[in-house]
Amino acid sequence: EAAKEQLTLAQLAQKFEVNAVTISKWKSEFLANMSAAFSHVKEPSNGEPEVPSEKLYAQIGKLKVELDFLKKSAKKLGIPESEWKPLN
């Protein structure tokens, strides 16, 4: 509400029971960083773009289907589970 400037700092301070100086600091900080607050592409600290979770869940589902298929195939071929080795 402070960014909208529809109420004075004194009115906001009274409404939310917060010091006007605190609201002013919050407003300044928000205005300085608001582009980051609304950006759609977030980059983790390592600089690589974040992969959307929908894609990750889709990949997990695909890998589970593949794993189930391979387990069933190994059983049909008579390969004991103790001989299954992870691919590294």
Q: How many domains does the chain have?
A: 2
C-alpha torsion angle, residues 20, 23, 28, 33 (rounded to 10): 180
| Residue 2 located in a structural domain | yes
pLDDT at 77: 92
Segments forming the whole domain that contains residue 73 = 51-81
pLDDT at 60: 92
| Residue 46 located in a structural domain | no
| Residue 29 located in a structural domain | yes
Distance CA 47, CA 65 (A): 32
Length of the chain in residues, anyone? 88
pLDDT at 52: 79
Sign of CA dihedral 38, 42, 45, 47: negative
Distances (CA, A) of 29 to 6, 22, 25, 36: 18, 11, 6, 11
State which residues of the chain have pLDDT below 50.
none
Q: What is the pTM of this model?
A: 0.40
